[in-house]
Amino acid sequence: MEIETIADLRPPLLIAKQELWRPPEMGSIKINVDASFHAASKGSVSGAIARNDSGQIMGACTYPHIGIADAFIAEARACERAVIFAVEMGFRAANNNKKKPTQKQGIDRRDANTAAHVLAGEVRRFSEPMYWVEEAPAAVDRIVAADWRRWLHRDMVSCSSAEEEFRKISHLVSTVVLVSRG
């Protein structure tokens, strides 16, 4: 007979860490964008939300699209609309420091892009483009406020989450199982 821990018997667990919305660099604007796609109608709605380095909403928009072939095209059209929205709002790309460009593009995971996701999904009821300046629909406002609170408290959340995960793993390691070899 051999004694092994459950940790030895089970495959390693991958703990998915929730990604937080991150503000842009000081003095910059960050635009998050998402699309909601409906395959049966070949329609989509783009949602874009612009926030400053303090997490405040600078503007938001939704834009319906028709004749969209698939979700990939819906996301591409959403990115296109975000660029148009930025120009219409008067935002411009600034790149004064060639060593460290201030304009960045990236793809955030869904949990870091919830406000744009809700904006694109919740406003499907509008059949025309909608624009908000320094505000957004109430549901999006609540998400933006929650994103900012999570950002401000990210270090405390990380510590408590790490302690909780350590307790879970410690419990698994302290549990032993008798295994018969032979």
Domain ranges of the chain: 2-16+158-179, 29-152
> What pLDDT shows up at residue 116?
86
- Asked if 73 contacts 24 with a C-beta cutoff of 8 angstroms, the reply is no
Q: Which two tokens stand for residue 36?
A: 């909601």
Q: If you write DSSP's letter for every residue of 126-155 in order, what string do you get?
A: -SS-EEEES---HHHHHHHHHHHHHHHTHH
Kindly tell me if the per-residue pLDDT of 26 is higher than 50: yes
State mean pLDDT over 67-80. Answer: 95
Q: What is the pLDDT of residues 106-141, one digit of tens each?
A: 544 445 678 888 888 776 666 789 999 999 988 899
Q: What is the pLDDT of residues 161-182, one digit of tens each?
A: 555 554 554 444 333 444 434 4
Tell me phi and psi for residue 175, to 5 degrees: -85, 125
**Higher confidence at residue 60 or residue 115?**
60
Query: Closest by alpha carbon to 165, among 16, 49, 2, 35?
Result: 16
